[in-house]
Structure 1
Amino acid sequence: MLYKFFVKYLKPYKKIVFIAPIFMLTEVIVDLFQPFLIQQIIDKGLGAGNINYVIRIGFFMCILSLIGILAGLSTIYLSSKISQNFGGYLREDTFKKIMSLSFKNLDHQSPSNLIIRLTNDVTQVQNLILMSFRILVRAPLLLVGSFFMAFFTAKSLSPIIVILVIVITVVLYIIVHKSTPFFTNSQKALDRLNTVLNENFTGIRAVKAFVREDYEINKFDKKNENLYSSSTKASLATALIMPFLMLCVNFGIVASLYFGGQFVIGGTLAVGQIVAFINYLLQILVSLLISGMLLMNVSRAIVSVKRIIEIHDMQPDITYKTETVDNIKGDVTFDHVYFKYSDNDEYILKDINFDAKAGETVGIIGLTGSGKSTLADLIPRLYDTTKGKVLIDNKDVKEYSEKSLRSQISIVLQKAILFAGKLNTNIRYGNQSASDIEVEEAAETAQAKEFIDKFPEKYEKFISQKGSNLSGGQRQRVSIARGLVGEPKILILDDSTSALDAKSEALVKEALANEHKDTTTFIIAQKISSIKTADKILVIDAGKLISIGTHEELLKSSELYKEIYESQLGKEA
């Protein structure tokens, strides 16, 4: 699976992937020749007093060094290009995948977790690709090449290398194997810390309003301590590599000088051979050091790769028919609909049956948690029914393509979510091709034109993130305008006038009735005054549709509706 993952994103750059190691191989060959040439200078040049030979070999070494530098720079350039493109396309694909997931899929993922996977995890994998072409290719080539060069340079000293390589390899394996769970725990701890940060920054006003700073700081400290603890363990394992390898390097040099010196005295080795052997030994140990550090990063990156693959392996809970164009009239039917969020949950909706004709206004009311919003979410197919069918124009919503369905149904949420950018861009979010006139008409219907005209920039006004520079009522009116600009056939207002005063709410409803007569409108409300004039009102209780009728009919036939009405009478009558 990991192999396929990397091949998928490296395939577009297969030529570069092939060329980069060739440059690296060139650089390694240059590095391998340097100790051999030094040996020649010492034994045949300095030892024989042949200065011309020293100058000639020295000049050749400079040429080789220049070739090595150019090859190294080429490798750096190509590996950087591969890694940056790899990271960019991986991040783009991951984002697209998240966007394709259904609400049910996303219910099990926190926003902070997804952000970490798109940023930190992708960066870890991107760095792995960069190091792979710059180091992962170089280290093994240099290791193997240096081993054979050392063997042929001073065969009698080769047992030193064999012993050191075996010891270092075993210790590195143990360290990497033991440290991998620490990196996994560290990533999870980072997820949990970011969740706390996201909650606090999003709900900073609530934190300050209830004077809960100390509580939140304490909660943050605990998560931060967990991250510190798990990161420290991972770093400690990494830190053990360097002193251990330095010990091996020093031991190898001492052993080479001790035994090599005896061979020189015995006349079986030359001084230049010992110098070359020590250089090759250092190259071997440096290669192992680099490999060890790289393996630690590989362990961390593999954890990130698996977390990214988890997202890519998710199958959208909702699949759509192929792209078709269906002109919706607006008839909506619920046919024995049951719904629950997961197999282990209780049913949120139970045996819901009703019809709404095109152009009708349908009010939905009930106690908190009765399933009103869930019912509305089934119409644009934000969730699929567990049992039963939702029909639009006598056609199951599952038979519509996503574009056909969502382009003709607008849902305005109670929490008005606006994006940083111009005000007209936010309204146009409901219909990218809407003209300036259509934007203004939608704003006028939503009673937003009144305050927009007071802005010096009018529709060009910059909206801060989440619309923080607008009041709650202004955000809701902009949100309603965004829902209306697409001329939807079905409009769902999910308690979306809760922040409006009674006068503004009445004007919005009047404008909707006049300007959108053919639109089937569902109004979810807590206040009876918001749905009093609806053509029919659905009374929901504990997921069941217990009553349906007009306001007057329900006052006579529904005890719950009458109870809600009387509880609001002082304010709403």
Structure 2
Amino acid sequence: MSFINFIWNYLKSSKKILIIAPIFMILEVVGDLLQPYLTQKIIDEGIAYGNKGLVLKFGTIMAIVAVFGLCCGIINTILATIVSQNFGTILREDGFNKVQHLSFKNLDKLNPSNIVVRLTNDINQLQNFVLMSLRILIRSPLMFIGSLVMAIITSKELSPIIFILTAFIIILLYLIIKKSYPVFLDTQVSLDKLNVIIKENFSAIRTVKAFVAEGKEEDKFNEKSMDLMKKNIKSSRIVALIIPMLMLSINMGIIFILWFGGNLAYNGGIAVGAIVAFINYLLQLMFSLIIAGMLLMTVSRALVSGKRVRELLNEEPDIKEDKNPVHKENLSGNIEFKHVFFKYEDSDKEWVLKDISFTAKNGDTVGIVGATGAGKTTLVELIPRFYDATKGEVLIDNINVKKYKEKTLRNNMSIVLQRALLFSGTIRTNIEQGKEDASLEDIRNAAKASQAHEFIERFEERYDSVVYQKGSNLSGGQKQRVSIARGLVKTPSVLILDDSTSALDAKSEELVKQALNKEFDDTTCFIVAQKISSVIDADKILVLDNGVLTGLGNHDELLKNNKIYNEIYKSQIGKEG
């Protein structure tokens, strides 16, 4: 899709305004073009002959035309603003909706910080382009053609000066814009890099402070900031060339007009008022070119931003739904992995998971243990199709997960991540995310099961207590309990707990396990854990080592037969087991 078609697709909803706005712009331009003509009349027919009545008459007409043009310009600007704001809103909504439907693999490739820049800065650039286009794209050509025609009518003898100046300025603008495009593209890349550092630093500010790494982070930031500054200065230098070069051209044009026009006037070939009118038309023509040049600079930025936004909108989701997906309200939760291999990129040499096979029946509790980087989280992320297996099959109720309707699959699951990310709002709204129609009783029961109810009741507003961004006003343990409650508020067929009790004390963790066994006995539960104590009572435990399933069985079986499990157990609990 071309840039113009892309822009037009988002302007279609404002067709009526797009028809009306140019009418006011045309009227404004006509008013501007009449001013030099009226000035000529006042000088040549009024002032030259001392006719005060005629001066007053044409002066009044000039004032009326000026006010009329002003009103038309204001209306056009208001309409252009409405169109550009509507354009930006629709485009931003489409971009955000696109991100919501991208897979983890897509998001890994695009980078969240990069996406933020595309949805904010890049769309703002496009919005500005639309606003300027509706004001200038119509005005500038009309003013250019109109002033050129009026200048020729006023004095054919002086017209060659305008043609020469116009050709020179057009060539100049072309060269400047051609040079500016790659510079603006480079500037956007530098801005992306700076945003990545800002996001990473703010996300890990506690780690930075804990390791007294402020200086190092400041150096990294300053390096990227200086790079962006240099790129901005470079692009500003290019922009800065336009006005001085054009003003020089205009002033030289006026000098030539006064020189040749003065000679013509001396010989009676042209009236003084005509020279004044001709200079005014020259100024109108030149300023229309200057404005067009500024618009073209905006176009250069908009082309870069448009390309980046289209890349986001055209990103094909890695996870695609089957053409005839299976839709079942309730899944039993029988899960089977059949010779599953996985790597994040096809080009990667190392497999993250290698030939994983196991089954889990409805109601089973499956523990997953292993060293950091063993592939535990990756394995459970294949069940809700956050990623797809590179080879092999993941089956639920004997149907490949790829065959299910995505909404069906995930509606039957609850996932509680290790990093308990809460949203701005209240405790209640955060838990409600797990079940849209959850009653207060459902929320309380989930909070009781996650051991969150007790501390929530101590808050003055209880379940309506405000939660700051990312839950920054709650402790790590409190955030995890609210996060677990969010996962338990509905009764899922499959529950995935990805090391989600790591911030809980032993007593609270045990109470959560008891609640799960009591309230969710028909739910297939996967518990990813670093601690053996978290999975010791599981029906079966998977032991992963560098993506390989090295052990499968219950605690007692693995303790006897699996060296890796035995070593983990002894290092955590002791030899008495």
Output the TM-score relative to the length of structure 2: 0.97
| Cα distance in 1, alignment partners of residues 551 and 87 from structure 2 | 57
After superposition, what is the alpha-carbon deviation per residue over 1:164-197, rounded to whole angstroms, capped at 9, x for unaligned?
Answer: 1111111111111111111111111111111111
Residues 493, 232 of structure 1: CA spacing in aligned structure 2 closer, same or farther, 3 A cutoff? same
How do 1:37-116 residues align onto structure 2 when only pairs under 5 Å count?
37-116=38-117
Counterpart AA for 1:329:
S
Residue 494 of structure 2 corresponds to which residue in structure 1?
Answer: 490
Contact 2:366 2:525 in 1 (8 A): yes
Secondary structure at the aligned position of 1:240 is classed as helix
Work out which of the residue numbers 331, 337, 344 in structure 1 matches 2:340: 337
Residue 563 of structure 1 corresponds to which residue in structure 2?
Answer: 567
Work out which of the residue numbers 537, 556, 563 in structure 2 matches 1:552: 556
Secondary structure at the aligned position of 1:48 is classed as coil
Cα offset, 1:495, TM superposition: 0.7
| Identity within the alignment, % | 55
How do 1:100-249 residues align onto structure 2 when only pairs under 5 Å count?
100-249=101-250
Secondary structure at the aligned position of 1:498 is classed as coil
Residues 473, 39 of structure 1: CA spacing in aligned structure 2 closer, same or farther, 3 A cutoff? same
Residue 327 of structure 1 corresponds to which residue in structure 2?
Answer: 330
How do 1:514-529 residues align onto structure 2 when only pairs under 5 Å count?
514-529=518-533
Counterpart AA for 1:37:
L
Cα offset, 1:458, TM superposition: 1.1
Cα offset, 1:59, TM superposition: 2.2
Secondary structure at the aligned position of 2:244 is classed as helix
Contact 1:323 1:403 in 2 (8 A): no
Aligned length: 573
Residues 411, 572 of structure 1: CA spacing in aligned structure 2 closer, same or farther, 3 A cutoff? farther
Residue 270 of structure 1 corresponds to which residue in structure 2?
Answer: 271
Counterpart AA for 2:333:
G
Contact 1:407 1:486 in 2 (8 A): no
1:404 equivalent to 2:408? Answer yes
Residue 448 of structure 1 corresponds to which residue in structure 2?
Answer: 452
| Cα distance in 1, alignment partners of residues 289 and 226 from structure 2 | 33
Secondary structure at the aligned position of 1:239 is classed as helix
Contact 1:326 1:400 in 2 (8 A): no
Contact 1:338 1:348 in 2 (8 A): yes
After superposition, what is the alpha-carbon deviation per residue over 1:48-89, rounded to whole angstroms, capped at 9, x for unaligned?
Answer: 333322222222222222321221111111101100100111
| Cα distance in 2, alignment partners of residues 482 and 39 from structure 1 | 78
Residue 436 of structure 1 corresponds to which residue in structure 2?
Answer: 440
| Cα distance in 2, alignment partners of residues 241 and 490 from structure 1 | 64
| Cα distance in 1, alignment partners of residues 67 and 532 from structure 2 | 83
Counterpart AA for 1:337:
V
| Cα distance in 1, alignment partners of residues 505 and 576 from structure 2 | 12
Contact 2:326 2:403 in 1 (8 A): no
Structure 2 unaligned segments of length 5 or more: list them: none
Work out which of the residue numbers 365, 371, 374 in structure 2 matches 1:370: 374
After superposition, what is the alpha-carbon deviation per residue over 1:445-498, rounded to whole angstroms, capped at 9, x for unaligned?
Answer: 011112111112111111111111111111111111100002111000111111
Residue 508 of structure 1 corresponds to which residue in structure 2?
Answer: 512
After superposition, what is the alpha-carbon deviation per residue over 1:10-62, rounded to whole angstroms, capped at 9, x for unaligned?
Answer: 11111211221121111111111111111112112222333322222222222
Output the TM-score relative to the length of structure 1: 0.98
Secondary structure at the aligned position of 2:574 is classed as helix
Cα offset, 1:323, TM superposition: 8.2
| Cα distance in 2, alignment partners of residues 571 and 225 from structure 1 | 57
| Cα distance in 2, alignment partners of residues 161 and 325 from structure 1 | 74
Of 361-370 and 560-569, deviating more is: 560-569
Secondary structure at the aligned position of 1:22 is classed as helix
| Cα distance in 2, alignment partners of residues 386 and 529 from structure 1 | 32
Of 558-567 and 257-266, deviating more is: 558-567
| Cα distance in 2, alignment partners of residues 571 and 376 from structure 1 | 30
Counterpart AA for 1:107:
D
Counterpart AA for 1:357:
K
After superposition, what is the alpha-carbon deviation per residue over 1:506-538, rounded to whole angstroms, capped at 9, x for unaligned?
Answer: 111011001111010001111111111100111
How do 1:251-266 residues align onto structure 2 when only pairs under 5 Å count?
251-266=252-267
| Cα distance in 1, alignment partners of residues 490 and 456 from structure 2 | 20
Residue 360 of structure 2 corresponds to which residue in structure 1?
Answer: 356
Secondary structure at the aligned position of 2:395 is classed as strand
Secondary structure at the aligned position of 1:54 is classed as helix
Secondary structure at the aligned position of 2:115 is classed as helix
| Cα distance in 2, alignment partners of residues 221 and 542 from structure 1 | 38
| Cα distance in 2, alignment partners of residues 183 and 443 from structure 1 | 52
Residue 35 of structure 1 corresponds to which residue in structure 2?
Answer: 36
| Cα distance in 1, alignment partners of residues 357 and 169 from structure 2 | 72
After superposition, what is the alpha-carbon deviation per residue over 1:192-211, rounded to whole angstroms, capped at 9, x for unaligned?
Answer: 11111111111111111111
| Cα distance in 2, alignment partners of residues 80 and 572 from structure 1 | 75
Secondary structure at the aligned position of 1:168 is classed as helix
Secondary structure at the aligned position of 1:355 is classed as strand
| Cα distance in 2, alignment partners of residues 389 and 492 from structure 1 | 19
Counterpart AA for 1:68:
G
| Cα distance in 1, alignment partners of residues 327 and 61 from structure 2 | 71
Structure 1 unaligned segments of length 5 or more: list them: none
| Cα distance in 1, alignment partners of residues 452 and 77 from structure 2 | 56
Residue 466 of structure 1 corresponds to which residue in structure 2?
Answer: 470
RMSD over aligned CA atoms reads: 1.3
After superposition, what is the alpha-carbon deviation per residue over 1:343-376, rounded to whole angstroms, capped at 9, x for unaligned?
Answer: 1112111111111000010111112111111000
| Cα distance in 2, alignment partners of residues 369 and 485 from structure 1 | 30
Residues 383, 39 of structure 1: CA spacing in aligned structure 2 closer, same or farther, 3 A cutoff? same
Contact 2:434 2:490 in 1 (8 A): yes
Secondary structure at the aligned position of 1:290 is classed as helix
